[in-house]
Amino acid sequence: MLGALLGVIAGLLPGIHPNNTIPLILAFASFFEPLNAAIILVTAGVINSFIAFIPSIFLGAPDEDEVLSVLPGHRMLLEGRGLEAVQLTAFGGLGAIALGILLLPLLTVVIPPIYSYIRPNTHWLLAGAVIYLLFCESNIRKMGAAMVIFGLTGLLGFVVLDIFVIDQGLLPLLSGLFGVPTLIIALKERPMLHETILDSAPKEKLSEIMPGILTGALAGILAGMLPGIGSSQAAMLVQSKNTDEDANTRHFLVTLGGISAADMLYSLFALWLIGNPRSGIAVAVGQLIKIGVNEIILFSTVVLLAAVIGIWLTLRLARHTLRWLRHVNYQKLCGWVLIGILSLVALLSGPTGLIVLCTATGIGLLAQKLSVRRSWAMGCLIVPTILYFARI
């Protein structure tokens, strides 16, 4: 229950991640059995991966792993389908975790040799995927615009993350590229949420969301096993090219929910199979206990139970949040969220962080002006990763 509470708090507060609770839990680890402390951390991570989509979709205030959900999720919110958007990410998360557990026997055989081959070639894998996605754009103009946004965000990410290392640098970088532009447009266009039906969502057919679950589970392996690749980067690399925009949006949200949730599971698998923890929580778990077959079986059960609790909490909190949003001035709320982001950046990253936030916001607004898919702004993380593994 403590892990679930920490996950909910971390999920609802932008800029707060379960990783921020690690020092606190480790400091009080003497009050818990090491195994219980590890279970608390894992539960918090799983619950957070579900809950964090609520502020991301409803308020445009994402964490690192949910940044790509802002635009499609916010668009569905303005169409009166906010609960459906959250529901898609939640079902994707639960499905990908269940599938990941079923794949565990196969992963124990194939992951170690594949990892040993791919790791030194990570930069080629990423570069090839970016080039492929570039040629998937519908015309030369969109291809050129995508190159501009990818290049600008890549340069900014390299400066922020590799040259001038800033405290909590991801906060102003990702908030500016993804969150703040959405809030600014909401302030400008004055959306009226109370005129839409907010607290209902269609029943999802398994046949319709299964492709997204499969994609999320497989892409989650990339995020959970490969260094330098997070949930959002993996989601960008496996985007659907369906010409039906609504079907593409739904598929993408299911996929992103699957990757985000399954990342915790695969990070634990990585700690066991290749001795390389791929998340702060997995590192802390490795410090608390030794991971073996019995522990993996236990944590797989914990992750699955936490996912069931997470989807229940997420849908209930989403319904209550949407009913509350019907009675508030959404424009003013977006204004307060914007002020909150500015204050958080100023507090955690200082004046330099505010400069990064403003620069990133300008690029994010340019991306919207050029009608570029926002996923191209993930260049801010992909370019530094490519350069790192290329030893540049």
CA distances from 260 to 92, 172, 194, 204, 254 (A): 9, 21, 30, 20, 10
Q: Using an 8 Å Cβ cutoff, are 249 and 204 in contact?
A: no
**DSSP secondary structure letters along 26-77:** HHTGGGS-HHHHHHHHHHHHHHHHHHTHHHHHHHS---GGGGGGHHHHHHHH
Residue owning tokens 């103009």: 141
pLDDT tens digits along 22-42: 665 566 555 778 888 888 888
Q: Which long-range contacts (CB under 8 A, 24 or more apart) does 110-119 make?
A: 111/221, 111/225, 111/269, 111/270, 111/273, 111/274, 112/273, 112/274, 115/225, 115/226, 115/273, 115/274, 115/276, 118/226, 119/226, 119/227
Q: Is the pLDDT of residue 358 over 90?
A: yes
Instruction: Provide the pLDDT confidence category of residue 386 given band limits of 50, 70 and 90.
Output: confident
Instruction: Provide the pLDDT confidence category of residue 356 given band limits of 50, 70 and 90.
Output: very high
Instruction: Provide the pLDDT confidence category of residue 363 given band limits of 50, 70 and 90.
Output: very high
Instruction: Provide the pLDDT confidence category of residue 261 given band limits of 50, 70 and 90.
Output: confident
Coil/strand/helix, residue 79:
coil
Residue owning tokens 């490519």: 386
Q: Using an 8 Å Cβ cutoff, are 192 and 330 in contact?
A: yes
Token pair of 110 as six digits: 């194939």
- The count of domains in the chain is 1
Range of the domain at 273: 2-389
pLDDT tens digits along 290-312: 888 898 899 999 999 999 999 99
Residues in contact with 73: Cβ distance below 8 Å, sequence separation at least 6, in sequence order:
53, 56, 57, 82, 85, 86, 89, 253
Cα distance between residue 76 and residue 83, in whole Å: 9
Predicted pLDDT of residue 227? 59
Q: Is the pLDDT of residue 18 over 60?
A: no
Predicted pLDDT of residue 354? 92
Q: Is the pLDDT of residue 361 over 50?
A: yes
Output the pTM of the full model. Answer: 0.75
Predicted pLDDT of residue 309? 92
Rank 67-76, 84-93, 221-230 by mean pLDDT and report only the highest: 84-93
Cα distance between residue 249 and residue 252, in whole Å: 5
Q: What percent of the chain has pLDDT over 90?
A: 12
pLDDT tens digits along 97-130: 999 899 888 888 888 887 788 778 878 888 887 8
Number of Cβ within a 10 Å radius of residue 31: 9
Rounded mean pLDDT, 189-204 = 58
**Separation of CA 214 from chain center:** 17
Rounded mean pLDDT, 77-95 = 85
Instruction: Provide the pLDDT confidence category of residue 243 given band limits of 50, 70 and 90.
Output: very low
Predicted pLDDT of residue 8? 76
If you count them, how many residues does the chain have? 392
Rounded mean pLDDT, 228-253 = 67
**Separation of CA 307 from chain center:** 16
Q: Is the pLDDT of residue 152 over 90?
A: yes
**DSSP secondary structure letters along 173-195:** HHIIIIIHHHHHHHHHH---GGG
- b/e sequence 345-369, b meaning 16+ C-beta within 10 Å: beeebeeebebbbebbbbbbbbbee
Cα distance between residue 356 and residue 361, in whole Å: 8
Cα distance between residue 234 and residue 224, in whole Å: 10
Cα distance between residue 330 and residue 326, in whole Å: 8
Instruction: Provide the pLDDT confidence category of residue 188 given band limits of 50, 70 and 90.
Output: confident
pLDDT tens digits along 324-338: 877 777 778 778 888
Predicted pLDDT of residue 174? 82
Rounded mean pLDDT, 369-378 = 81
Predicted pLDDT of residue 61? 52
Q: Is the pLDDT of residue 70 over 80?
A: no
Predicted pLDDT of residue 239? 63
Q: Which residue has the higher pLDDT, 199 or 391?
A: 391
Predicted pLDDT of residue 28? 59
